[in-house]
Amino acid sequence: MITRPLDIASRLAPPPRNFDVLFYVNVGALALFFLLFGSRFVLSPGLILGDPLPSIEGARSTAVRTTCHLRILGSGQILTDEGLLTQAQLPEWLRTQGHRDKHAVLLLLAGVDVPIGEITRIQSMAVGAGFSYVALAAQESPSGAAAR
């Protein structure tokens, strides 16, 4: 070993026999730091896409569990979990997703600036591709929430 010629090993302090309280405080502080700031709910960096969802009275009463989702932007872009899709790739993606589950349900996330013709075109493609239901995402309108 390199410490033998200079006899450095004899001058080193012996390793501690047990962990003191400060060690546990440091480990706890690190764990708390990573739990708080590693969360996706604390200032996650990102890009906000599209406008808010349309408000519909009774939107919560007709909620269903979905198996996959599709986000349509007003610019004509289509986003999925796999990334950006073109109009040519959309039918194939719908076919694979529609046959993945027995009762597949598609959630369409469309902003208020997306034309209704585009939504109905994608809805008819999804039903033809094997989806049982197609749900258009909406948030509860303020008047519907106040009535409860």
**Concatenated DSSP letters for 105-121?**
EEEEEE-TTS-HHHHHH
Q: Considering only 8-12, 67-71, 99-103, which range has the smallest mean pLDDT?
A: 8-12
Q: How many residues does the chain have?
A: 148
5 within domain boundaries: no
- What pLDDT, in 10s, does the model give residues 29-72? 988 887 777 655 554 444 444 455 556 666 666 666 778 888 88
Q: Is the pLDDT of residue 114 over 60?
A: yes
9 within domain boundaries: no
81 within domain boundaries: yes
Q: Pick the more confident residue, 61 or 87.
A: 87
pLDDT at 112: 76
- Cβ atoms of 134 and 105 within 8 Å: the answer is yes
Confidence of residue 141 (pLDDT cuts 50, 70, 90): low
Residue 130: give the domain boundaries. 55-146
pLDDT at 80: 86
- What pLDDT, in 10s, does the model give residues 56-68? 666 666 666 778 8
Confidence of residue 137 (pLDDT cuts 50, 70, 90): confident
137 secondary structure, DSSP code: -
d(CA 63, CA 133): 12
Q: Is the pLDDT of residue 1 over 70?
A: no
Domain total in the chain: 1
34 within domain boundaries: no
7 within domain boundaries: no
Q: What is the CATH number of the domain that holds 121?
A: 3.30.420.270
- Cβ atoms of 86 and 45 within 8 Å: the answer is no
d(CA 137, CA 39): 26
d(CA 120, CA 73): 14
d(CA 140, CA 61): 9
> Among all chains, which residue has been given the structure tokens 């197609």?
134
48 within domain boundaries: no
Letter for the amino acid at 28?
Answer: G
H/E stretch holding 33: helix 21-37
1 within domain boundaries: no
86 within domain boundaries: yes
